């Protein structure tokens, strides 16, 4: 795991946290005051990939671990969030307010209803794990773009049949109708 969290007592009381990743030119997620202009669907909790995967360098697979073993990469459960947010309360009022929503959802056993960003029609089959196995766990960006820099996830690939088939041609993968269509 890349992220190391230090929680000296002073930090615990002020509900702040420091990450000890000490590279000086580490990516810094911007402060965002107007969320209305962000691309992609608005989510029930303003969960920022540019903070988690970008600034704090939490690996994609830490949360989306099932991407390599299942057809559905899956969205992490609140239990995964609370592994950190039991302690991490946020360093700004905005972060604190959003993290409060995470804690309330956990307390009330009401998982957030995340809005799906990438979705194929039901008649097309996409075995996620086969792609990761062959293209590697670093290949997320090939299809999902630079998620580490996204405050809110947006769709960057068309997900059209031509997009699938073009890459299959380049990689000498089957274009047999029945592998993608039931
Ligand atoms: C700390 C946990 C966490 C990490 C780390 C993380 N994600 Fe996510 N991811 C989520 C959550 C929660 C959602 C659902 C909310 C949303 O869409 O922002 C999500 C949604 C997504 C989606 C949209 C899914 C859909 O609805 O179609 C993609 C794509 C994605 N993540 C890719 C990545 C990639 C690529 C990385 C690494 C660069 C990454 N994630 C790292 C928690 C995480
Ligand atoms: C490995 C530790 C870790 C995990 C797991 C994690 N977070 Fe975070 N999260 C952080 C850190 C570090 C910050 C930055 C805190 C700060 O400085 O304000 C943060 C900030 C946040 C914030 C405020 C900034 C923002 O993104 O808008 C929200 C909301 C949040 N997390 C939600 C979640 C949710 C929901 C999950 C589970 C899907 C999750 N976190 C999982 C470490 C984690
Ligand atoms: C070859 C292209 C491709 C690659 C590489 C890829 N994805 Fe996806 N991903 C997709 C497609 C297509 C969907 C929509 C699948 C569907 O609707 O059945 C998707 C869906 C998702 C979802 C939403 C699934 C859900 O259950 O809500 C997440 C999260 C996700 N991908 C994360 C990742 C992560 C993390 C990686 C890297 C480890 C990755 N993807 C690599 C194409 C890709
Ligand atoms: C690599 C995967 C893949 C292969 C191979 C493939 N398709 Fe598709 N197809 C898709 C996806 C994904 C969609 C849904 C997105 C879209 O409509 O472009 C789709 C959509 C379609 C549609 C609906 C188009 C529409 O506008 O609603 C038809 C019809 C279709 N495919 C027929 C075929 C036939 C016939 C073959 C074999 C010659 C084939 N497909 C091979 C992935 C594939
Ligand atoms: C970035 C390149 C890339 C894109 C984009 C891509 N694929 Fe693939 N796909 C591959 C590779 C490489 C394999 C071969 C994996 C293996 O060898 O097991 C594969 C394998 C598959 C398989 C399994 C084939 C078999 O032999 O059983 C299916 C089904 C599939 N892809 C569907 C899709 C669909 C549907 C889309 C579009 C929504 C898509 N793929 C987009 C690269 C891609």
pLDDT digits 0-9 by tens, 109-132: 999 999 999 999 999 999 999 999
Count Cα atoms within 13 angstroms, Cβ side, for 152: 17
Give residue 24 CA to ligand 3 midpoint distance, Å: 32
Q: Quickly state the pLDDT bin for 66 (edges 50, 70, 90).
A: confident
Whole-angstrom distance, CA of residue 135 vs CA of residue 142: 9
Domain range spanning residue 107? Answer: 5-180
Give residue 49 CA to ligand 1 midpoint distance, Å: 7
Instruction: Please give the tally of structural domains in the chain.
Output: 1
Tokens read off for 157: 């690939």
Whole-angstrom distance, CA of residue 21 vs CA of residue 104: 29
Q: Give strand pairing partners of 19.
A: 5
Say if ligand 3 is within 6 A of residue 153 CB.
no
Say if ligand 3 is within 6 A of residue 114 CB.
no
DSSP 50: I
Residue 82 neighbours by CB under 8 Å, 6+ apart: 102, 103, 106
149-164 per-position pLDDT tens digit:
999 999 999 999 999 9
Question: What is the chain's mean pLDDT, rounded?
Answer: 87
Whole-angstrom distance, CA of residue 48 vs CA of residue 7: 22
First and final C-alpha spacing in the chain: 39
Residue 160 neighbours by CB under 8 Å, 6+ apart: none
């Amino acid at each position: 795991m890349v992220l190391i969290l230090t929680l000296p007592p002073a930090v615990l009381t002020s509900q702040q946290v420091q990450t000890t990743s000490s590279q000086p030119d580490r990516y810094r997620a911007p402060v965002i005051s107007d969320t209305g202009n962000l691309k992609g669907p608005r989510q029930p909790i303003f969960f920022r990939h540019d903070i988690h995967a970008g600034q704090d360098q939490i690996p994609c697979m830490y949360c989306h671990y099932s991407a390599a073993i299942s057809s559905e990469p899956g969205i992490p459960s609140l239990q995964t969030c609370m592994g950190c947010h039991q302690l991490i309360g946020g360093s700004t009022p905005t972060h604190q307010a959003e993290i409060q929503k995470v804690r309330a959802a956990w307390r009330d056993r009401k998982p957030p209803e995340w809005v799906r960003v990438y979705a194929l029609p039901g008649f097309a089959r996409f075995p996620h794990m086969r792609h990761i196995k062959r293209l590697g766990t670093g290949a997320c960006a090939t299809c999902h773009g630079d998620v580490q820099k996204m405050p809110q996830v947006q769709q960057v690939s068309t997900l059209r049949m031509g997009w699938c088939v073009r890459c299959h041609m380049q990689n000498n993968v089957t274009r047999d109708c029945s592998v993608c269509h039931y």
